[in-house]
């Protein structure tokens, strides 16, 4: 049991370990500063000075229980027996307190070659003791003064009930997860990776990543984030790579910091792993208690964020054998072998998660993951920012600012969140819907002449295929850019109301643009309006049909024009989202594959 702390904490707590070494030399024991009876605890610890002074006195006066009887050959047998059984330190204490007897002085003074008279002997003992105690008190004072100033801010909870550096380390972990740069000192809220053995090779990527957390080395964090992403993607795509799941991801539990304390886990000792199996049966009860203690770290409300069933789906196959304990939905088997020590053998069972696991549950990890997910939807390859997109500002602006500040990128967030208006996809339209780019500046009235600039930006930011392109494909792309250019011109003129006729608009649009539902709907409304106008009915801004008299026709015509412009503007607003979505779709379309497929079909047809 005493060896648990050595295994779990002692190795990694360098300041604590270093202090233990000092304390061992100076014979000052290390203890946890209490908040209750602080003064009395310190006072009682000062008794160590007297004990050490008495031991030093024995050495200085060249006295020991073995030497003393030989120096008193003429004494009676009972006296010798008393001298043998009485520690010299007690005799010195009697002398210091004037409670000594003649035998006491005999023991001390006859055995000392420098002393002649009893009273001189006694004075010499007292002076020597006073000098020794003065030196030790000075040492004690310096030692505890330095210790008292660092107990609340030395990065460990071993010596105090709280620690400011530990709090900062917690914040660091919450922000950066396993990539937290916890320098040097201990990390009391992380499990010891030495407790995990089995399938993890020491040189694997995940092992190194967890090592960053344990040791907090600043040098090992250079590629931490990339490593995490790589590991996560590998786990998602390759089912055969499940064994490389980092066990440390199960162990990072910042919320348990206020409950879990290193001193509660046991005491230190030496390793006895090899003989664990031999005395396994003799310590079943202890094993059970320790197992409960281990499981207790994952019990209660803290499990909701880290060990939920969705993250660790139940494994139907019971692969744990013997006395192994199944944890994490039977995905981990822990073999407890106990002989005054807990030896845990953890076997990670291959499998994959049903959902994305928060293997690095931190703020930066969530932001990083969100950026990766949103990357395909990021408009014109990051040109559009949420603030520029015509969507609900109160929600998207908040998250957009967060993402922009944290990631340093402009991220466009897709409109159709659950509470926003979004239509169902039209089933009849094929995947070859016309791609209609729209730059971020096209929704404003002040950019009339930026069509060429916009098209050039589209060209610059459009994702290009990695494979070398043929001449025919270049033409296809140029044609597409020309379409985009013409599309932009039409949109600007629509916005400036140069085209107030739907037929005129459609004639100016490139082929296929009518498939965009909003434009089509606008033209449909325009066509309906014209029919109604022919029937003497006019459409008001309230979108109701009313019958008008001939005398009011002129006024209603102006109203109709205004209405049409409003319709166009509204559709432009909605098209802003739609065109952006189409443009993102354009970024994800493998044009070469489509054209190759078309060529293949054409060849077959021929």
End-to-end CA distance of the chain: 81
Q: Among residues 427, 467, 549, 606, which is the contact residue for another protein, using CB under 8 A?
A: 427
Number of residues in the chain: 606
Secondary structure of residue 343 in the 3-state scheme: strand
Q: Is 593 in the site for another protein (CB under 8 A)?
A: no
DSSP string, 66-120: THHHHT-TTS-HHHHHHHHHS-HHHHHHHHHTT---HHHHHHHHHH-TT--SHHH
* DSSP H or E segment with residue 546: strand 545-547
Q: How many CB atoms lie within 10 A of CB 501?
A: 12
**Contact between 105 and another protein (CB under 8 A)?**
no
> Cβ neighbours of residue 217 under 8 Å, at least 6 residues apart?
211
Among 30, 31, 162, 545, binds another protein (CB under 8 A): 162
Residues numbered 558-577 forming contacts with another protein, rule: CB under 8 A:
567, 570-571, 573-574, 577
Q: Closer to another protein at the Cβ: 16 or 306?
A: 306
DSSP string spanning 289-339? HHHHHHHHTT-GGGHHHHS-TTTSPPPSS----TT-EEETTTTEEEEEEES
3-class secondary-structure state, position 13: coil
22 binds another protein (CB under 8 A): no
Binding residues among 405-424 for another protein as defined by CB under 8 A: 414, 416-418, 421-424
Binder among 25, 74, 85, 145 for another protein (CB under 8 A): 145
**Comparison of 143 and 469: residue with beta carbon closer to another protein:** 143
Q: Which stretch binds another protein (CB under 8 A): 76-84, 134-142, 261-269, 486-494?
A: 134-142
Name which of residues 296 to 325 contact another protein (CB under 8 A): 305
**168 interacts with another protein by CB under 8 A:** yes
3 state SS of 346: strand
Site for another protein in 225-264 (CB under 8 A): 254-255, 258
**How many Cα atoms occupy the beta-carbon half-sphere of 365 within 13 Å?**
23
Positions 354 through 393 that interact with another protein (CB under 8 A): 356, 358, 361-363, 366-367, 369-370, 373-374, 376-377, 390
Q: Please, what is the minimum distance in Å from the beta carbon of residue 380 to another protein?
A: 16
- Distance CA(188)–CA(8), nearest Å, equals 9
# binding residues, another protein (CB under 8 A): 90
Kindly state whether residue 544 participates in binding another protein, applying the rule CB under 8 A.
Answer: no
Measured distance CA(80)–CA(72) in Å, rounded: 7
Given 267, 399, 475, 546, the residue binding another protein (CB under 8 A): 399
What track of x and - describes contact with another protein for positions 332 through 361 (by CB under 8 A)?
------------------------x-x--x
What mask of x and - would describe binding to another protein in positions 514 to 543, judged by CB under 8 A?
Answer: --xxx--x----------------------
Among 76, 99, 453, 561, the residue binding another protein under the rule CB under 8 A is 99
With respect to another protein, which residue has the nearer C-beta, 119 or 545? 119
592, containing H or E segment: helix 591-605
Q: Which residues contact 110 (CB under 8 A, 6 or more apart)?
A: 71, 72
Does position 23 interact with another protein (CB under 8 A)? The reply is no
Q: Closest by alpha carbon to 476, among 343, 340, 589, 310?
A: 589
User: What's the min distance (Å) between Cβ of 373 and another protein?
Assistant: 5
């Amino acid at each position: 049991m005493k060896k648990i702390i050595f295994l779990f904490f002692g190795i990694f707590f360098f300041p604590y370990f270093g202090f233990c070494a000092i304390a061992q030399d100076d014979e000052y024991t290390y203890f946890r500063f209490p908040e209750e009876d602080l003064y009395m605890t310190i006072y009682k610890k000062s008794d160590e000075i007297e004990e050490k002074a008495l031991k030093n006195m024995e050495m200085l006066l060249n006295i020991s229980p073995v030497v003393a009887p030989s120096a008193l050959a003429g004494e009676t047998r009972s006296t010798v027996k008393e001298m043998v059984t009485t520690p010299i330190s007690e005799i010195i204490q009697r002398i210091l307190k004037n409670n000594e007897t003649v035998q006491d002085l005999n023991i001390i003074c006859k055995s000392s070659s420098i002393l002649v008279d009893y009273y001189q002997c006694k004075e010499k003992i007292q002076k020597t003791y006073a000098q020794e105690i003065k030196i030790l008190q000075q040492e004690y004072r310096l030692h505890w003064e330095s210790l008292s100033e660092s107990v609340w801010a030395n990065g460990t909870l071993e010596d105090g009930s709280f620690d400011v550096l530990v709090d900062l380390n917690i914040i660091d972990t919450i922000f950066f997860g396993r990539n937290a740069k916890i320098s040097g000192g201990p990390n009391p809220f992380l499990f010891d990776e030495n407790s995990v053995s089995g399938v993890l090779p020491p040189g694997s990527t995940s092992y190194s990543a967890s090592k960053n957390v344990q040791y907090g080395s600043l040098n090992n964090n250079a590629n931490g984030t990339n490593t995490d992403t790589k590991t996560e993607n590998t786990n998602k795509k390759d089912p055969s790579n499940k064994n490389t799941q980092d066990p440390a991801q199960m162990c990072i539990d910042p919320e348990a910091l206020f409950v879990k304390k290193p001193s509660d886990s046991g005491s230190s000792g030496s390793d006895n792993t090899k003989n664990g199996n031999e005395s396994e049966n003799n310590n079943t009860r202890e094993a059970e208690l320790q197992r409960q203690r281990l499981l207790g770290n994952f019990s209660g409300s803290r499990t909701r964020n880290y060990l939920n069933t969705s993250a660790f789906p139940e494994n139907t196959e019971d692969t744990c054998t013997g006395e192994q304990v199944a944890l994490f939905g039977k995905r981990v088997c822990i073999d407890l072998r106990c002989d005054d020590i807990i030896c845990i053998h953890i076997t990670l069972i291959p499998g994959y998660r049903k959902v994305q696991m928060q293997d690095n549950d931190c703020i930066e990890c969530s932001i990083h993951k969100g950026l990766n997910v949103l990357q395909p939807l990021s408009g014109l390859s990051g040109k559009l920012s949420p603030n520029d997109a015509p969507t609900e500002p109160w929600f998207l602006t908040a998250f957009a600012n967060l993402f922009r500040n944290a990631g340093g990128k402009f991220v466009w967030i897709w409109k159709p969140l659950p509470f926003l208006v979004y239509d169902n996809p039209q089933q009849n339209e094929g995947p070859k819907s016309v791609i209609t780019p729209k730059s971020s500046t096209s929704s404003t009235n002040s950019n009339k002449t930026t069509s060429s600039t916009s098209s050039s930006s589209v060209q610059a930011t459009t994702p290009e295929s990695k494979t070398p392109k043929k001449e025919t494909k270049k033409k296809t792309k140029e044609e597409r850019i020309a379409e985009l250019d013409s599309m932009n011109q039409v949109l600007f003129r629509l916005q400036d109301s140069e085209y107030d006729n739907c037929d005129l608009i459609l004639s100016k649009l490139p082929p296929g643009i009518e498939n965009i539902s909003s434009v089509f709907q606008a033209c449909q409304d325009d066509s309906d309006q014209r029919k109604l106008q022919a029937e003497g009915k006019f459409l008001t801004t309230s979108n109701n049909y009313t019958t008008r008299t001939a005398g009011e026709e002129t006024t209603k015509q102006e109203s109709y024009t205004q209405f049409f412009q409003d319709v166009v503007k509204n559709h432009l607003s909605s098209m802003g989202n739609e065109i952006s979505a189409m443009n993102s779709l354009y970024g994800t379309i493998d044009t070469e594959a489509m054209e190759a497929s078309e060529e293949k079909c054409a060849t077959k047809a021929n």
